[in-house]
Amino acid sequence: MRPYAFVAALLVFVALSAGAQEIKIGGIGPVTGEAATFGVSTKNGMTLAVEEWNAKGGVLGKKIKLVFADDKGDPAEGATVYTKLIQQDKVVALVGTVMSKVTLAGAPIAQAAKVPMISPTSTNEKVTQVGDYIFRACFIDPFQGTVGAKFAYNDLKARTAACIFDVGNDYTKGLSENFQKAFLALGGKVVAYEAHPTGTTDFKAQLTKIIQAKPDVIYCSDYYNDDALIATQARELGYTGPFVGGDGWDSADLVKIGGAAVENCFFTNHYAPDATTPAVLTFVKNYKARFKTSDAPDALAALGYDAMYIMLDAIKRAGKADGVKIKEALAKTDLAVVSGQVKFDANRNPIKAAAIIEIKGGKQVYRTTVNP
């Protein structure tokens, strides 16, 4: 054998040996695009979880390798990276993705390949309906929309409400639909229900109609960048009342973009970073140290961390990196994580509480918890 051929063969052997000593987990999130802060936070949470497990010896005696892909917040790109992670990278499981519209593009690919998947943050109820290999770490839109309606009606004493949402996004549509349904069931009245196209930056036409209807509260189910613009433009048009929204509001950029306009705003979330439970205190401390930040990790980071922990715990209990075994172990999960105690219902959705967060003094402040 020629020397270069021997070296090449040796390198292949070393690579194969290294691969045999690691378990590949695919991570997916939008680290660029309209929800980039969400993707970065989620990736950070996954990374921290993997590093903590590896520091304790990994799983099944092997190191965990996180193979992360950027879906750019785009369903077509999401389908591409799901396919690549499964077919080329040969991951044994997937943790992702963030946005419901992208997860709905990727989940059928994972289901067809029988690769277990857990989405950290996709709240649209259709996600886990794709199949029995698809799980999630977050509560779903019907619960989140209902919690928002109950808070508006019971705590804010609102009797009339308006909704504004992105018509091109399953997440935003689902939240507003469920808020409207729950608010009406409580005895309230929805006086305006306004959709806007994806990519809109001028919301004044919709907001003018809403403000003319004089709602006690506006339910805005968009992501933080649109939420901040909507709140700013609503204040400019004279609206002084509260906004309520979903977990899409959860970003440090919300206040940076919206400033004083997002004061007196509330949103449902998966955890409160200022909670004093040991799990939250430890997570916040470790996250700040690992990523050298003074900002508390948002819910996206917490759910990325939790989703990875749930997946790795399932692989450990499965006893082998096998799709069927991992799926079966996931279904039997009963695990305490940062966002609470997690068990899955028959539809692979977690049974867990929701936190209400208030924007007060330019900061996120825990207001209350609503149990399922």
Burial class (CB in 10 A: 0-12, 13-18, 19+), 348: buried
Give the structural domain span for 199. Answer: 142-269
The one-letter amino acid at 371:
N
Within a domain: 369: no
Evaluate whether residue 107 is within a structural domain.
yes
The model scores a pTM over 0.85:
no
CATH number at residue 241: 3.40.50.2300
- Domain stop point among 269, 302, 328: 269
Q: Same structural domain for residues 212 and 327?
A: no
Total domains present in the chain: 2
Q: How far is 153 from 258, CA to CA, in rounded Å?
A: 25
For residue 359, being part of any structural domain is answered with no
Residues 8 and 101 in one domain: yes
**Which string of DSSP letters, residue by residue, matches 213-224?**
T--SEEEE-S-H
Q: Of the candidates 287, 335, 290, which has an alpha carbon nearest to the alpha carbon of residue 311?
A: 335
Tell me the C-alpha distance between 123 and 142, whole Å: 9
Looking at residue 5, what is its pLDDT?
Answer: 56
Same domain assignment for residues 107 and 11: yes
Percent of the chain with pLDDT over 90: 85
- Considering the domain architecture, whether residues 19 and 107 belong to the same structural domain is answered as yes
Rounded distance between C-alpha atoms, residue 124 and residue 203, angstroms? 24
Locate tokens 């006893």: which residue? 319
Answer with the one of 269, 296, 316 that is the final residue of a domain: 269
Residues 132, 189 within the same domain = no
pLDDT digits (tens, 9 = 90+) for 271-319: 999 888 899 999 999 999 999 999 899 999 999 999 999 999 999 999 9
**Residue 357, token pair as written in the block:** 């967060």
**Stretch 44-65: mean pLDDT, rounded?**
98
Question: Given pLDDT bands bounded at 50, 70 and 90, which one contains residue 14?
Answer: very low
134 and 146, same domain (yes or no): no
Residue 1 has pLDDT above 70, yes or no: no
Do 21 and 134 reside in the same domain of the chain? yes
Residue 15: pLDDT over 60: no
Distance between CA atoms of residues 311 and 11, nearest Å: 31
- Residue 13 to residue 287: CA distance in whole angstroms: 37
Q: Which residues pair with 62 in a beta bridge?
A: 59
In the block, tokens 């020629």 appear at 2
Q: Which of the two residues, 340 and 177, has the higher pLDDT score?
A: 177
How far apart, in whole angstroms, are the C-alpha atoms of residue 34 and residue 117?
23
- pLDDT for res 161: 98
- Residues 8 and 114 occupy one common structural domain: yes
**21 with 104, same domain?**
yes
Same domain membership, residue 180 and residue 221: yes
Whether the CB-CB separation of 107 and 126 falls below 8 Å is answered with: no
How far is it, in rounded angstroms, from Cα 301 to Cα 47?
10
Which among 208, 239, 269 is the end of a domain?
A: 269
205 membership: H or E segment, kind and range: helix 204-212
- pLDDT 10s digits, 217-252: 999 999 999 999 999 999 999 999 999 999 899 888
Q: Which residues of 292-307 are buried (b: 16+ CB within 10 A; e: fewer)?
A: eeeebbbbbbbbbbbb
- Report the Cα 301 to chain-centroid distance in Å: 8
